[in-house]
Amino acid sequence: MKAGVCGICGRMGRAVLDVLLQRGHSLACAFDSSSSAYYGKDAGALVSDKLGVIVSPVNDDVEKCSCVIDFSSPDASMELLAAAVRHKTPVVIGTTGFSDEQKTEIEKASKVIPLVFSPNMAVGVNLLFKLTETAAAVLGDDFDVEILEIHHRLKKDAPSGTAKRLADIVKEHMNGMAGARAVTGRNGLTGERESAEIGIMALRGGDAVGEHTVYFIGEGERIELTIRSTKRDTDAKGAVVAAEVLNGRPAGFYSMYDVLGL
C-alpha cells in the first residue's frame, strides 16, 4: 500500500509511520504544518531513515496514495478531505475536536470516498465501545453514568473524542437518555444530580497515553468499564489496519466495528 500521513510530525503521526513501514507499506506523501521542525525535510528523519518524501502542507499528492491516514487538526483534516474527494482517495480520520459542521462535511465526503472515522482505533477501545453499548442497554436509567478520561499534558482538546463517543453510545442505547445533558465540570452548589445527565471529566498530566473509564452507578452496586492504553502504537496499528481494509471498498462511512468485524 502506498500511504499518506497527515499530521506526520505529531506523536500519532510518527507512530503511524512506524507501523506502516513495519507492515511493509511505503510512504507516498507526508503532510504537516509549516511550524513543524521537520517541515520541508525528508519524512524519513522521523524514523532515522531516508524515504524520499518531503514533509509538506496538504496538497494534491493525495492522488499518489492508496489511502491517507489523518491524525492532525480539524482544520487540516478539512483541507485533506477536500483534496481526497477531488482525487477519490480513501481516508482514515483519527483526528478529534471537530465541530458539528465539520462532522457533517465528513459525512458528505463519505458519499464520494470510502472513509473510516473514529476517535480511537485501538482494538481494546473499540471493544470498550461495544461493552458500553451492552451495559447501557441492559442497565437502563436506574444507573447514573459518569465518564473519566486521562491523557498526557500536551493534549489540546478536552474531553477526549473517545470520551465523547462513549457518552454518545450511552445516549443511543440507554433508555431515557437520548437527550441527556453532558456535564464537564462541577463546582460549588450545583444542586442534586439529574438522572438525564452524563458527567464527562478530563484529567491531564505527564505522559499518560490514554485511559477511559465508564462508571454505571446504581443503588448498592457500581460497574466500571476501563481501558488503559500504555502505547500509542495500538491506536496507530488500528489506523493502518483500517487503511488496509478500505482498499477496494466502495464509498461509504465506515466505523472501526466494520474494520474489526464487531
Using CA atoms, how far apart are residues 159 and 162, in angstroms rounded to an integer?
A: 8
Q: Which whole-number Å values give the CA distances from 35 to 7, 10, 38, 39, in the listed order?
A: 12, 12, 9, 7
Query: All 3 cell numbers of residue 232?
Result: 500509542
Give catalytic residue positions: 151, 155
Q: Check: CB of residue 177 under 8 Å from CB of residue 198.
A: yes
Cβ within 8 Å of residue 30, ≥6 positions away? 4, 5, 8, 43, 51, 53, 54, 55, 56
Q: Which whole-number Å values give the CA distances from 172 to 47, 153, 160, 177, 178, in the listed order?
A: 42, 31, 19, 7, 6
Virtual CA dihedral for 1, 120, 90, 58, nearest 10 degrees?
-90
Exposure on the CB side of residue 206, measured as CA atoms within 13 A: 7
